[in-house]
Amino acid sequence: MKTPNPLKTLLASIMALPMLLLTPASHGQFGGAAGIADAFRADFLARDMQLFVEQLRLEDWQRPIIEMLFEDYRTAFDGGVEQVREEIQVNQSRIVAARPEQVMEIILEPITAWDVERRALKEQFLNNVKAQLSGEQLKRWPRFQRTLRRDKELSKGELDGESIDLYVSIRQMRMPYEVEETIDPLLVDYEIELDDALIARAAKIDSLQDELKDAMTRMDYDAGLRAQDQIMAARTRVRAIQDAWIDRLADAIPTEYAAEFRARALAEAYPRAFRPTIVPKMFDKMRECADLSNDQINEFNLAEDQFDVEMTNLEMEIVASIRSNQPEEARRRVERLIEQKRTGKRNRTAGPTDELLAKKKDLIDETKNRINGMLTPEQNAECMKGLRTITRDGKKVPHEGRTGGRRSWHPLGDPPPDSVATPNFRPEKPEFNNRQSSGRSLDRVTTRSSKSKGAAGGSGKKVGEGSSNKKNNE
């Protein structure tokens, strides 16, 4: 049996009470729910020990001491959370008897008091750690704090593109040491600029907590929205820094790595835009397909070129739409809830990004139909073999490709679960025998990345260049 998550259980209990006792409201939309969640989220976990060891270069004798400090912190934190839970239980009779506008205030009383204690607990832990460090280790403390802050704060992003860690993205590229060494000063500049924005975002959220809680208590939508707009401006600033540094880092690294880095970063930052599709795998299957005529090969190559260009352009349109429209979506959700409460009717209209995502789906469907229409029934059955998978309920459905992007950066198959596949990069696959004996043209561009900077890619082979075609083998 799965063990219940105490944090989720406690938060569910806290948030359920006002939802049950008040008229339908959108207090969570103001950002108040996020503030409450932070009060019950430990600032340091056991897994963070490795970060302390690596970043501060702890000596063997220091590790047991730091581990003990971790244990002491966790014991104190868990004790504080348990005390809040007990106080909320004690206050239930007050909540039931209170007027609706007082319910949230009663719930927040012990949480607000605990939040002050939690912050002091965090500072005490960090000061205790610093007291164990040597002078040389203390010199590493500023960069360690930036790394720790990224690890803790980036995950709190709400906008696409807000939560990516480009420092990690660069390191995952596994570029030669001399390349990494040349861009390290740039990464330090990125860390510092991002760190300033993360500090400003956290400070803005903290400074508005009383205002948000007051808006939640009084159901003052206008005040809640004003506070939310200020928080969203801080979030947009973080996202803008991330976007700018994707370009700056891509321009700074050698060209043979730039397209891959840009593609991987965009795919991780904007997964909605680069959700994978089955179409590239269909084209890959064509490279293994037997008995294709010259006309079919030319048709497939033309279809692939057109799909690549249209999909790349469409994906970047989606990214631009997300950047432009997403900051306003939270406000629009609250406004729709207000309107729904006033009229009793739900009003959900598609936004610009929704329309572009629908356009992407149409392009995928049209291209799939175009590919299927180029093949005879016999060729379709043979060439598309293996493109369907069995779901848990036993139904056959089209395989929707790799996670994270349309094209994988892994040249020999699907990426491991913890990696991010990339949309705009086409690595070379292992070579097939050229089909020169068949008289078919090989004078075609073999990778999208050779057409334009950062263009999307696939196998690097055009249809008709694979050795598996029977006519070539014969």
HEC sequence for 193-226: HHHHHHHHHHHHHHHCHHHHHHHHHHCCHHHHHH
Query: What is the C-alpha separation between 360 and 318, in angstroms, rounded?
Result: 9
> What is the DSSP secondary structure assignment for residue 434, as one 8-state letter?
P
pLDDT (0 to 100) of residue 452 = 36
* Structural domain boundaries in the chain: 1-138, 140-253, 266-473
Query: What is the C-alpha separation between 242 and 171, in angstroms, rounded?
Result: 16
User: Which secondary-structure segment (H or E) carries 439?
Assistant: none
**Region 151-176 average pLDDT:** 93
**Cα atoms in the Cβ-side hemisphere of radius 13 Å centred on 393:** 2
Confidence of residue 461 (pLDDT cuts 50, 70, 90): low
Instruction: Decide: helix, strand or coil at residue 291.
Output: coil
Each residue's pLDDT tens digit, 401-423: 333 333 323 222 333 334 343 44
User: Which secondary-structure segment (H or E) carries 391?
Assistant: none
Query: What is the C-alpha separation between 97 and 2, in angstroms, rounded?
Result: 35
Each residue's pLDDT tens digit, 313-349: 999 999 999 999 999 888 888 777 777 777 777 777 7
User: What residues pair up with 398 in beta bridges, in sequence order?
Assistant: 388
Query: What is the C-alpha separation between 8 and 3, in angstroms, rounded?
Result: 11
Confidence of residue 163 (pLDDT cuts 50, 70, 90): very high
Residues 76 and 125 sit within 8 Å (Cβ to Cβ) = no
Where is average pLDDT lowest: 73-82, 217-226, 357-366?
217-226
Confidence of residue 230 (pLDDT cuts 50, 70, 90): very high
Dihedral angle at the C-alpha atoms of 181, 187, 188, 189, nearest 10 degrees? Answer: 130
Query: What is the C-alpha separation between 426 and 409, in angstroms, rounded?
Result: 7
* Residue 397 pLDDT exceeds 70: no
pLDDT (0 to 100) of residue 442 = 25
Each residue's pLDDT tens digit, 243-286: 999 999 999 999 999 999 999 999 999 999 999 999 998 888 88
* Residue 465 pLDDT exceeds 80: no
Query: What is the C-alpha separation between 261 and 278, in angstroms, rounded?
Result: 23
> What is the DSSP secondary structure assignment for residue 227, as one 8-state letter?
H
pLDDT (0 to 100) of residue 416 = 37
Query: What is the C-alpha separation between 400 and 279, in angstroms, rounded?
Result: 9
Query: What is the C-alpha separation between 220 and 227, in angstroms, rounded?
Result: 11
Query: What is the C-alpha separation between 291 and 289, in angstroms, rounded?
Result: 7
Confidence of residue 293 (pLDDT cuts 50, 70, 90): confident
Instruction: Decide: helix, strand or coil at residue 396.
Output: strand
Residues 242 and 213 sit within 8 Å (Cβ to Cβ) = no
| Planar angle of CA 187, 192, 198, nearest 5 degrees | 120
Count CB atoms within 10 A of the CB of residue 84: 22
Dihedral angle at the C-alpha atoms of 453, 456, 460, 466, nearest 10 degrees? Answer: -160
Q: What is the mean pLDDT of the chain?
A: 77
* Residue 311 pLDDT exceeds 90: yes
pLDDT (0 to 100) of residue 436 = 30
Angular region, 413: left φ>0, alpha ψ -120 to 50, beta rest: left
User: What residues pair up with 390 in beta bridges, in sequence order?
Assistant: 396
Instruction: Decide: helix, strand or coil at residue 388.
Output: strand
- Residue 167's contacts (CB-CB under 8 Å, 6 or more residues apart) are 147, 150, 187, 190, 191
Query: What is the C-alpha separation between 255 and 243, in angstroms, rounded?
Result: 19
**Number of residues that make up the chain:** 474
